[in-house]
Structure 1
């Protein structure tokens, strides 16, 4: 039985600016397995944002194919992309997509397709925020904000969660805790972390949590 949840096959992405062609991805190939925690590590400008936009169906490849759950996602119509993104893909964007005037519970339930407070409470318990249900964003620590962002990404039972720089505002101790938490929830979904934090691939205490580590540089990807 095929265990692949996401696959990039010969994916290129080019952008045209006036008469100049800029390449951000140059024929990358990789596979992620179901119920796995994966890291794509690379410096600013290496192509991480492009990968994020392709997985979330905000953009389409210039060449190549992307499969999620054996479905060729670049072929989706605009309306199908929106529905698929909401139902199948969880996005963890640090806390940039959280609303400061809403409570933890309200933030987590905001993108919920079928409103279910009981389910939201179960996810809040999983991430360790049961005592912060009514707390507003400004009264949370950086780590608690990240856990809120994670719970929000989990709320619709996505097939995959893509976390963009989830450790960007955390110290080493809380980064370690967050990676441990991500590893804990991979039994519910598959997770891909995009980051330029070199410690995630070099620090043995951190990289132990990842099932696969990929290095992205100049639009090319290699497995470490």
Structure 2
């Protein structure tokens, strides 16, 4: 039996909107195996972002059970949740979220508890950024910025990477390059990947595509 890296069991997430309630997630049931590569698609308001926030332990379900690598997060303290998030999850964002005053190397090392300069350099080199260690974000192209962001996501050896529209700011060539990096990390290093995207071309790199609507999964396509 495959180990499940993410488990959602009847997960609801309800927000107060004015005088009413909105169910961003409405009884979501989903299990993703270790080493899987999954794309999540759907229109705005379908629940994709809320799904990612719960998966990244950035938000808690209103009802239901969520587990990451078998650990139920709602019973953990804030400190334990932060430790789990730091050790198990790498985040990649559409707008890169790099600190402009830091170099590429410094941005990559930011999440590290024990600062390991050589490890940070090695990961940047694997991203094809051998000559960009000391460049700041304003000196890098969009594709280079996202490679730095991927290196930062990998620095603590996460078991899963959660990517929120990682190609949304990139042209087609750079978008394909970034998705190939994620695909290689999945195939060669066994990192579980979840990508939220509006782009069918980016989604095509995944082994499974989940379609969401109204906080639920309405369709799943597997290769």
Fold in common (TM above 0.5):
yes
Corresponding residue for residue 11 of structure 1 = 11
Work out the CA distance in 2 between the residues paired with 1:21 and 1:193. 28
Query: Displacement, 1:174?
Result: 1.4
Distance 1:149 1:121 in 2: 14
1:215 corresponds to which of 203, 208, 211: 211
* Distance in 1 (alpha carbons) for counterparts of 2:125 and 2:96: 22
CA distance in 2, matches of 1:43, 1:153: 26
Q: How does 1:12-91 map to 2 (within 5 A)?
A: 12-91=12-91
Over aligned residue pairs, what C-alpha RMSD do you find? Answer: 1.5
TM-score after normalising by structure 2: 0.92
Tell me, yes or no, if the aligned pair for 1:23 and 1:219 is still in contact at 8 Å.
yes
The alignment partner of 1:131 has SS state of coil
- Structure 1 partner of 2:151: 151
Q: 1-side partners of 2:8 and 2:30: how far apart? A: 5
Distance (whole Å) between structure 2 residues aligned to residue 129 and residue 112 of structure 1:
19
TM superposition shift of 1:16: 2.1
**Distance (Å, rounded) in 2 between the aligned partners of 1:49 and 1:29:** 16
**Deviation readout 1:179-219 (Å, 9 max, x if unpaired):** 11101112242111011223334xxxxx1x21211011121
In the TM superposition, what are the counterparts of 1:137-176 in structure 2 within 5 Å?
137-176=137-176
Distance, in Å, in 1 between the alignment partners of 2:128 and 2:42 is 30
How big is each residue's C-alpha offset from its partner over 1:35-86, in whole Å with a ceiling of 9 and x where there is no partner? 2221001122111121121112121111211111111122211121111111
Secondary structure of the equivalent of 1:85? helix
Aligned residues, how many?
A: 218
Q: Shift of residue 3 of structure 1?
A: 2.8
Cα shift readout 1:1-30 (whole Å, capped 9, x = no counterpart): 433211111111111234311111111122
Aligned to 2:125: 125
TM-score (norm 1): 0.92
Tell me, yes or no, if the aligned pair for 2:95 and 2:169 is still in contact at 8 Å.
no
Residue matched to 1:204: none
Is the CA contact (8 Å cut-off) linking 2:123 and 2:151 kept in structure 1?
A: yes
Match of 1:194 in 2: 196
Q: What residue ranges of structure 2 are gaps of 5+ in the alignment?
A: none
Query: For residues 154 and 5 of structure 1, what CA distance do their matches in structure 2 show?
Result: 17
The answer to which of 33-42 and 137-146 deviates more is: 33-42
Separation in 2 of the partners of 1:113 and 1:93? 21
**Structure 1: tracts of 5 or more residues without a match:** 202-206
Contact residue 95 and residue 149 of structure 1 kept, 8 A: no
